[in-house]
């Protein structure tokens, strides 16, 4: 079971102290729980210092290794600053930076090469959901992004775009079914078994108890509700 906080472009440094205090005074942690936090790049090393027993990750990396790539962060640099995983293919990056599957594919490859565990995001638009083509859409994203990848420790996050930040989620059984499709597709067509398939999109301390009852739902990638240490601690507590 894994729960990962994606802080996106939030939480300026002074708030990290209060997040940490709120989180640790409320959370019940033990060895069976793998909890991660992906802060903005500039806070990674600070988080490694403050967040005991949590894994710290990056929200993106360059598709290239070290070199003249102004404004980019390589897998090696992210790892040097203390990241142990990286979120790739988030729909906000796909949209804001016009990131295509071929680029995500290169990023997954370099993350694996540099021992940074990839957490790769997939998900459909509202239109695709309403047209009933979610499974086909997600499988074609999987095919493009994992082309030629030999993977052992891949985490997949299913994040329907229409659920991110909207307070609306699919039903637990719908998510469970998509996760089942993702696991089948990876096993039968891509020849790897994902380490976990997480769900992301408007997860809160209220709805996570119900969502986690889906047998194929292995954990969560949490945006807005992870920005408050109390609320993220309640999600962690309610999921195990
Ligand atoms: P919200 O939890 O704010 O909907 O964001 C989900 C997400 O994008 C996590 O990566």
Secondary structure class of 179 (helix, strand, coil): helix
Helix axes 134-145, 101-113, angle to 10 degrees: 50
Residues with CB under 6 A from ligand 1: 6, 90, 159, 164-165, 200-203, 221-225
* Contacts of residue 226, Cβ cutoff 8 Å, sequence gap at least 6: 5, 6, 7, 37, 232, 235
> Is residue 123 a contact partner of residue 158, using CB atoms and an 8 Å limit?
yes
Q: Which of 92, 99, 159, 179 is catalytic?
A: 159
Read off φ and ψ for residue 166, nearest 5 degrees: -105, -15
* Element at 143 (helix H, strand E): helix 134-145
> Is residue 175 a contact partner of residue 183, using CB atoms and an 8 Å limit?
no
In testing the pocket of ligand 1, which one of 8, 86, 199, 223 has its CB within 8 Å of the most ligand atoms?
Answer: 223
Q: What is the pLDDT along the chain (240 residues), one digit of tens a residue?
A: 699 999 999 988 878 889 999 999 999 998 888 999 999 999 999 999 999 899 999 999 999 998 999 999 999 999 999 999 999 999 999 999 999 999 999 999 999 999 999 999 999 999 999 999 999 999 999 999 999 998 778 999 999 999 999 999 999 999 999 999 999 999 999 989 999 999 999 999 999 999 999 999 999 999 999 999 999 999 999 987
In testing the pocket of ligand 1, which one of 8, 40, 164 has its CB within 8 Å of the most ligand atoms?
Answer: 164
Going by C-alpha positions, the residue among 93, 75, 92 that lies closest to residue 84 is: 75
Record the pTM. 0.97
Going by C-alpha positions, the residue among 23, 24, 28 that lies closest to residue 7 is: 23
CA-to-CA dists, residue 127 to 71, 137, 200, angstroms: 34, 11, 18
> Is residue 194 a contact partner of residue 156, using CB atoms and an 8 Å limit?
yes
For residue 40, the CA-to-ligand 1 centroid distance in Å is 15
| Ligand 1 atom with the shortest distance to the CA of 226 | 2
């Amino acid at each position: 079971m894994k729960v990962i906080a994606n802080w996106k472009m939030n939480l300026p440094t002074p708030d990290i102290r209060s997040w940490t205090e709120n989180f640790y005074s409320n959370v019940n942690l033990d060895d069976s729980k793998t909890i991660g936090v992906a802060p903005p790049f500039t806070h990674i090393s600070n988080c490694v210092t403050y967040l005991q027993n949590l894994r710290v990750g990056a929200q993106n990396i360059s598709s290239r290794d070290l070199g003249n790539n102004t404004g980019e962060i390589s897998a090696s640099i992210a790892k040097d600053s203390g990241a142990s995983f990286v979120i790739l293919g988030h729909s906000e990056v796909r949209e804001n930076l016009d990131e295509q599957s071929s680029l995500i594919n290169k990023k997954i490859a370099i993350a694996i090469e540099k021992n940074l565990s990839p957490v790769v995001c997939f998900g459909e638009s509202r239109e695709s959901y309403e047209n009933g083509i979610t499974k086909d859409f997600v499988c074609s994203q999987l095919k493009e992004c994992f082309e030629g990848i030999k993977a052992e420790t891949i985490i997949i996050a299913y994040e329907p775009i229409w659920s991110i930040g909207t307070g609306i989620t699919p039903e637990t059984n719908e998510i469970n079914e998509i996760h089942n499709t993702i696991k089948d597709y990876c096993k039968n067509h891509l020849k790897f078994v994902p380490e976990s398939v997480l769900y992301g999109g408007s997860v809160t301390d209220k709805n996570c108890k119900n969502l986690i009852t889906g047998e194929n739902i292995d954990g969560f990638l949490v945006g807005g509700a992870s920005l408050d240490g109390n609320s993220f601690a309640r999600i962690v507590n309610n999921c195990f």
